[in-house]
Amino acid sequence: MMLDLLRVLTVLLAAVAMALALAHALELPGKMRLSREEYLVVQPIYYPGFTFGGLAEPLGLLATALLLVLTPVASREFWLALIALLGLVGMQAIYWLVTHPVNRFWLRDQSLGGPGAEFFALDPARRAGPTADDWTALRDRWEYSHVARTALGLASLLALVVALV
């Protein structure tokens, strides 16, 4: 019974993680038509909402890892859970290496407080942030990183659903 609840929770968390990335990916065609000024006005509107929703990603990662540990190694479900875990790890890698530095740039002039300020102050790679020299490169990096994250999230979600049925 507890394992069944964990499976459902894991699917739910993976679905939320994928949905947030998908929402950004679906905006891509329209946002690519925006001028620099319009784009810079639009980018900060995602926060704090997507920041709170983004909690599904690390929770989904943990739930999937736990599910993997509790699943018999030689089973089909184990390999599907492993695929899901690798997809969720990939989503995190893309976020922290590609998306997060650009988020920090978009939000540099925003007055963030509390957990949001702490989250966007994080810089695990400790590298110089992007500059506004070519805003279209930053836009493309941000937008296409969400397309890649969507693909990985969808692969994870599908693997978990197939494992569940």
pLDDT tens string 120-146: 666 766 665 566 668 889 899 999 999
- Region 54-70: mean pLDDT is 94
Q: Tell me the pTM.
A: 0.88
Residue 58 has pLDDT above 90, yes or no: yes
Q: Where are the alpha helices (DSSP H) in the chain?
A: 2-31, 36-42, 49-53, 56-70, 76-94, 100-106, 114-121, 135-164
Top pLDDT among 40 and 45 is at 40
- Region 40-56: mean pLDDT is 77
* Per-residue pLDDT at 53: 72
Distance CA 138, CA 134 (A): 7
Q: Which amino acid is at 157?
A: L
